[in-house]
Structure 1
Amino acid sequence: MEVAHDSIMGGHLGVKKTSDRIQAAFYWPGLHADVTRFCRSCDICQKTIPRGRVPKVPLQKMPLIDRPFKRVAIDLIGEIKPPSEEGHRWVLTLVDYATRYPESVPLNKVDTETVAEALVDIFSRIGVPEEILTDLGTQFVSECMEEVNRLLSIRHLTTTAYHPMCNGLVEKFNATLKSTLKKLCSEQPRQWHRYINALLFAYREVPQESTGFSPFELMYGRTVRGPMQILKELWTKDVDTPEVKNSYQYVFELREKLEETLEIARENLRKSQDSGKHYYDRKAVNRKFTQGNKVLILLPTDHNKLLMQWKGPYEVEAVVGINDYNVNVGKKSKIYHANLLKLYVERPPEAVQVAAIVEEPAELDEFDGEELLELGDLHKKKGVDDVKLGPDLTEDQQKELHDCMGDFTHRFCDVPGSTSLVEHEVHLTSDVPVRSKPYPIPVRDR
């Protein structure tokens, strides 16, 4: 099997091709099962298997947020090349979970102090959220950022390592932001920072498929007056005259409208979430790991962050969530999502039990047939006198017990016998002999 699979001429092919190659010259019972176990435990094959061959686990639903800016998702885009004329190389993005309302700030650098100041600037316009969700970037998990979160009473949530899907809301917005910026500033690439506010307005004005409302409408309770509304007014000369209301009536109606739209948006979000999970789980497999399992982890290569490869094996230390596991990766432990893990199959030690019969003619001549096969003596050798009695018995007790055993000398004998006390009958279901199925023989050997 090593020659057919692991060697240079073997090529580390699959189970079927390796089995066919072996069967062309050799055969033994259970060949296919042995080859299957051997190929699945190949260290090189396990570490070079394509990512798509490992099935993903079922999607877990995120909790629905029904209050604006209760939870926001935060991320960084960059490094953007070329930088803007003012030296901006990165963009800090923020998206609200309830309304999908986005915010973006261009940055010259992404140290913790700069990111914290930009977040405080955004919070001064939209309010301080209760929870923020970020990745494990050093800007977000530093001691300075922890102190900012403590002062503002913000609960900081983080994604697992190398699993941006957990923060998919802001990642999707980042893709839209980069794609739109590329189209808007194709002629003046160093002016991209000037288009961010216009891009944000366009994003806030359009209804979201998941909620059914635009982020601006969910945020302010009214439709924004944008370019399309202005063009309509110029063409139709029809300008809506707002109804005169007092402050109390306006606030009351606005509150009712916001509550109604948010409730509808929440229901639309639930339906969109169920639909997305249905399509995602069509090819998903519920893979579970337990403490002590050996796993391979899909990690970036040392030379390119975007190229991933299987590394390991590492040991699972604990189960910390439905699909999250604490894995010991050497000197420290990290939490990884199940989609980045694959069970490692260890190959058993190379120990084979072999029995060989060696015939030496010179030695066989020294023995005759009777010495090669020794049969046990069927004559009586031991009897009642050979029974050992307990030392605690007195002489009278030993004599009495010896006389009692003398009445059953046929029981105290080393020669096998039979009894008539019990009978056992064997009933056959059929007179036809039972024939065992022969082992399959390769076609070429038939």
Structure 2
Amino acid sequence: MKEKLATAATLDIPDDTATTCLFTDASDVGWSLIVTKVVSFDPKVPATDQQHRLLYCMSGTFSSSQLNWTVIEKEVFPIVTACDKLDYLLLRPKPFRMYCDHRNLIHAFAPHESVKKHKLLRWSMKLVNFRYVVEHVPGPANVWVDMISRWAGNHTPTVRVKRLKAVRSQSESAASETRSPAPLRPLDAENFIWPTLVELFDTQSEFEAPVDAERNADGLLMIDDKIWVPSEAKDLIQRLCIVAHCGAKGHRGQHAMVAHLRRLFAIEHLSAVVSSFVGKCLLCLHSRGGGIIPRPWGETIECSSRNDVLHFDFLYMGESYGQSKYLLVLKDHATHYCELVVADTADISVVTEALLDWHSRFGIPPEWVSDNGTHFKNEVVAELCRRLKTKQSFTLAYSPWINGSVERANRDILQVMRAMILEYKLSYKDWVYLVPMVQSSLNHTADPSLGNRAPVELFTGLQCPTPLKEFYLPETGELQTIPDSDAIDEFLEKLRSSIHDMHKDVEDQREKQRLLNKKRQRGENIVNFAVGDFVLRSRVDEKHGNKLQVTWIGLYRVVRAD
């Protein structure tokens, strides 16, 4: 005990006339700091050669998420800890001197420099109350704090198994095919060997020739004046396909490739071989690929009552002669009744006014459905939703088919708008004046999915006017009106009083259409890839595409497939 007391480091008392020094360092798993004082500090002498007296020593280890910090964050942590817990030692009349072996900290904590990273910015705010001078000290000279920071040692992280998942392993051939994808440009590969007549002759000699094969002047076996290629020569056939498909041939497709090969070669089952080759061509997958498969992410909304679910979305219409650029589309889910609101910008004020206006005329729907735009997903709409006792639902990003009801309305709006601009010979910037006519056209057009009813009939119970109510008679030279009859009035009265029955017909029609769609799909589109597979990704998340850009980009490797 006496020996330990005699050899232990003696702590000194803080002195306002002395210069306080702070040494810090960090390793992968630990950190340390030492606070000293120098009574007669000489700026010309290196910091390690000064006469230091120990004031305080502190160290610790990084745990959990701290182990994932960057190097500069680990180096800054002991400095922030010292300013937070040892302020009674560092707050002195003289500024304390901070020494570190990480040169970037000089720029990070220099008072005249701006900190870009948010975490470092928050930590640097704790140094605002201190007066300090940052100096760099070489790593070998910063031996004491470096030694303390490494005392924790490099522990091997333990792994805890949280979940085990049993999967069926693929065959070795399929696995090898999946793990090693074909080259993107095989014609430019260094190991590509161009087919020659000598190779064709040698290949024909290795296999038994067909009965109808005849040799030409060069010694090659010919069938109908075409060079016979044995079906067993897989490598040669593949290289012939590469020449006929890649490079200057422009990846034209299966039929063009078959036509090129059939001019010169006789290959058994050529169409099947070409089909398999084209299906594995990565450049063709990028440019043509398959269709985008809507994965079942999100619940399908089912509603059979009017004004139960309200969809809304902003539709960009382009420039106008005024300042209006957007249409806010509000659509009832069950009846397809919609309202169009012209807006200058897609902001929250337009959404709030439109929802309150809908509420004043028809009442508030129990559920709202929209995408995740900031004009829909914000505190104002959330507070309005709470006060009106309704529920707000959001669709998944980059999955427009989930909010297909209003997306279909957007497509119809653009289609009708283009037709009216051509019909009335207007400028495309006059679209604002056509909005009432477009809304009327959408709401007064019968839809087969609604049981051949118009949305205005199902939503309001009002009769749907028809343009055939008036017709022209050449004999009179005037427009004649079809006279009303008691039978028509009685029928319309029954129509207004039987909204519920019409909704039932609409629901039956939708059920028939749903069953028909399922029959056409021929099964569910399930995830057909596994971990380790190479896949391509579509550009569905890009709003503005270029016509010359390919549809599919990649390759990407699947690292997780739940």
Residue pair 2:462, 2:496 contacting (<8 A) in 1 also: no
Shift of 1:261: 0.8
Please tell me whether residue 175 in structure 1 is matched to residue 411 in structure 2: yes
Q: Residues 306 and 74 of structure 1: is their aligned pair in 2 closer, same or farther, counting only changes over 3 Å? A: farther
Q: Give the Cα–Cα distance (whole angstroms) in 2 for the partners of residues 175 and 59 of structure 1.
A: 22
Asked whether 1:192 is paired with 2:431, we answer yes
Aligned to 1:223: 463
Q: 1:217 to 1:316 in 2, by over 3 A?
A: farther
Taking the TM superposition and a 5 Å limit, the aligned residue runs for 1:242-321 are 257-279=498-520, 281-282=521-522, 285-288=525-528, 296-299=536-539, 304-305=544-545, 309-311=551-553, 313=556, 319=562
**With structure 2 as the length reference, what TM-score do the two structures score?**
0.44
CA RMSD of aligned residues (A): 4.9
Contact 1:75 1:93 (C-alpha < 8 Å) held by counterparts? yes
Q: 1:64 to 1:285 in 2, by over 3 A?
A: closer
Counterpart in the other structure of 2:91? none
Name 1:77's counterpart in structure 2.
315
1:140-179 Cα shifts (integer Å, max 9, x gaps): 2234333333333332333333222222222222122122
Pick which of 134-143 and 205-214 moved more.
134-143
Query: How far has the Cα of 1:290 moved from its partner?
Result: 6.2
Q: Percent identity?
A: 21
The answer to whether the 8 A contact 1:73-1:169 is kept is yes
What TM-score does the superposition give when structure 1 sets the normalisation length? 0.54
Which AA in structure 2 matches 1:168? G
Distance 1:208 1:143, change over 3 A: same
Is the 2:184–2:283 Cα contact (8 Å) retained in structure 1? no
Q: SS at the partner of 2:409?
A: helix
Contact 1:300 1:306 in 2 (8 A): no
- Summarize the Cα distance change of 1:74–1:317 in structure 2 as closer, same or farther, 3 Å threshold: farther
Partner of 2:249: none
Q: 1:238 aligns with which of 469, 473, 484?
A: 484
Amino acid at match of 1:219: F
Higher deviation after alignment, 299-308 or 106-115: 299-308
CA distance in structure 1 between the partners assigned to 2:359 and 2:408 by the alignment: 22
Does 2:317 correspond to 1:111? no
8 A contact 1:297–1:311 mirrored in 2: yes
State the one-letter code of the partner of 1:192: W
Q: State the alpha-carbon separation in 2 of the partners of residues 18 and 127 from structure 1.
A: 74
The answer for unaligned runs of 5 or more in structure 1 is: 245-249, 320-446
- 1:207 deviates by 1.5
Query: In the TM superposition, what are the counterparts of 1:1-40 in structure 2 within 5 Å?
Result: 6=186, 8=188
Q: Quote the offset at 1:263 in angstroms.
A: 0.7
| Local SS of the residue matching 1:140 | coil
- Any conservation in 2 of the 1:77–1:90 contact (CA below 8 Å)? yes
Letter in 2 for 1:75: D
**1:67 has 2:305 as partner:** yes
Q: Is the 8 A contact 1:55 1:283 kept in 2?
A: no
Contact 1:74/1:170 (<8 A) preserved: yes
**Alignment partner, residue 404 of structure 1:** none
CA deviations over 1:218-267 (Å, ceiling 9, x no partner)? 113342345444669953433549989xxxxx9xx778511111111110
2:445 to 171, 191, 206: 206
User: Residues 266-312 of structure 1, C-alpha deviation per residue, up to 9 Å, x if partnerless?
Assistant: 10111122223333x15975334568877543235879346664456
Give the aligned residue type for 2:348. T
* TM superposition shift of 1:202: 2.3
1:56 paired residue number: 293
Structure 2 residues not aligned, in runs of 5+: 1-180, 204-231, 239-272, 473-478
Deviation sequence 1:350-376 (CA, Å, 0-9, x none): xxxxxxxxxxxxxxxxxxxxxxxxxxx
2:361 aligned with 1:128, yes or no?
no
SS in 1 for 2:418: helix
Matched, 1:151 2:391: no
- 8 Å Cα contact 2:446-2:454 kept in structure 1: yes
Which residue matches 1:95?
A: 331
* Separation in structure 2 between the aligned mates of residue 144 and residue 24 of structure 1, nearest angstrom: 75
Distance 1:235 1:31, change over 3 A: closer
Partner Cα separation in structure 1 for residue 184 and residue 461 of structure 2: 70
CA distance in 1, matches of 2:402, 2:415: 21
| Higher RCO by CA contacts (8 Å cutoff, separation 6 or greater) | 1
Measure the CA separation in 1 of the matches of 2:512 and 2:283: 44
After superposition, the Cα gap between the structure-2 partners of 1:288 and 1:71, relative to the gap in structure 1 and judged at 3 Å, is farther
